[in-house]
Amino acid sequence: MGIELEAGDAERLRAYLEALRDANTRFNVTAIVEPEAMWVRHIQDSLTLVPFLASAEAKAVIDIGSGGGLPGIPLAIVMPEVQFTLLEATGKKAAFIKETIAALGISNARILNDRAETAGQDHHDHRAKYDAVVARAVGKLNVLAELTIPFAREAGSIFLIKGDKAAEEVEEAKPALYKLHTHVVDLHKTATGTVVVLEKTRATPRNYPRLPGEPKRRPLG
């Protein structure tokens, strides 16, 4: 992938996967538990975002719907100069992320245990405060757009890891993207999926994101 790891990065990535696999014995955090598959589907997939974040010169990044810490933890390990916020609404998963960040000594990451709809309306700390927003396996783009775009500053970037239906999702999400003052820059195929690149052109209208659960119940269109 052209990504050069620093000393200790591979060991910390391995330790993270071991922690993820152990947590999965206590509660559902990942459907992929075979070690080789985890390296591809979790680590390699997450690290496909490194070139995009580097190109954007992002210094403050938020990972929306981080789950067990993906893609935020692998990115924080290999990009120590970037500050990462990992947003996760589920308490058990947020607790796992917090414990893992501490155990691995990841000083450039923090956990935010909250819903995107709530944090996205926090004008003091989170709304329009990030150079880039990332997300992986959170939902369809017409829903995910409303949950991610409000966090980006004006002219900021949103990098979303999607699957084979990325182009279809982009087409379906065009009305939502228009309402959220954001446009599609690129759909970049990678070895593990497709990175949808969005740019926020103007401030997000104040009524977005809507109340918790509303974006999923009634996607913008």
pLDDT one-digit tens code per residue, 60-84: 999 999 999 999 999 999 999 999 9
Q: Over pLDDT 90: what percentage of the chain?
A: 90
69 occurs within a structural domain: yes
Question: Contact 156/127 with Cβ under 8 angstroms?
Answer: no
Residues 201, 104: Cα–Cα separation, whole Å: 37
64 occurs within a structural domain: yes
Please, is 93 exposed, middle or buried when counting C-beta atoms within 10 Å of its C-beta (0-12, 13-18, 19+)? buried
Number of domains in the chain: 1
The pLDDT assigned to 189 comes to 96
Domain extent for 138: 9-217
Alpha-helix residue ranges (DSSP H) falling in the chain? 9-23, 35-38, 45-47, 50-55, 72-78, 91-103, 116-119, 141-148, 166-179, 214-217
Nearest to 94 by CA among 125, 117, 65: 65
Cβ neighbours around 75 below 10 Å, total = 23
Please give the DSSP secondary-structure letter assigned to residue 138. S
Instruction: Kindly report the CATH number assigned to the domain that includes residue 47.
Output: 3.40.50.150
pLDDT score of 96 more than 90: yes
3 occurs within a structural domain: no
